[in-house]
Amino acid sequence: MYKLTTHYSLVFIIYGCILSATSWAKSAEPEFDDSFYMSQICTSYITKNDVEYCDDGYILKSETLNNGEVIETVLMDGMGGYGWSHTSLKKIDKYIYHVYIGCGSPCGTNILFGLGGKKQNFDLYFDFDVKSRCTVEYDHDKNLWVARRFFSDRKIILPSTHGNNNSAIYPNYNVEFNEKGRLIIKHYFEDEIVQTLPNPCISS
């Protein structure tokens, strides 16, 4: 009887430790509320023709935890005048921001930042649809366009978009979302729509 009681006591102790560890692990994970914003902060100014312009700065990302703690992160500090003047920040919805950084013609990168430290990088040729939370970008390694859901690494191949332009610099096709979330495909530098595809993030 003593051994049985000891056995059950040990089981309850282990079970209690597991529950405590699980509870601690959950509480250790940061839980974010809806207070999330990003803004461009200027740190250097220049004057041209008696007009003052911002010449350098950084992007500030601020997130608030449920306990009221504010986490602030400085991004892209010290880009210099050229990088700063070719950087744009746009709020997509209350949880996501889009940052574009230009580096020449044609040269640039697109980044999505999300609540909770989420981040997704894209190349220059890129578009997104907010409602379906879907993106398309030109994959230079595969020479075609691919789709990805927001903050997902899984690529959805769009085989009908394969090929480079005659210049070998630009894609053969330009791909973007229309107002209904479908993909419209045109030859680069042309306005005629050559193909329309269903939203790849919904149909796949």
Rg of the chain taking only CA atoms, in angstroms: 24
Specify the number of domains making up the chain: 2
- What tens digit of pLDDT does each residue of 96-113 get? 999 999 888 788 899 999
pLDDT band at 62 (very low <50, low <70, confident <90, very high): very high
Query: Using CA atoms, how far apart are residues 154 and 143, in angstroms rounded to an integer?
Result: 17
pLDDT at res. 167: 66
Contacting residues for 155 by C-beta, under 8 A, at least 6 apart = 139, 146, 147, 148
Report the percentage of the chain scoring pLDDT > 90: 48
Could you list the residue range(s) of the whole structural domain that residue 96 is in? 31-124
Query: Using CA atoms, how far apart are residues 23 and 8, in angstroms rounded to an integer?
Result: 22
Note the pTM of the prediction, 2 decimals. Answer: 0.77
Would you state the structure tokens that stand for residue 72, as one six-digit string?
Answer: 């602030």
- Whether 5 maps to a domain, the answer reads no
Contact 36, 62 (CB under 8 A): yes
Residue that is written with structure tokens 């009221």 in the block = 68
pLDDT at res. 204: 61
- Whether 199 maps to a domain, the answer reads yes
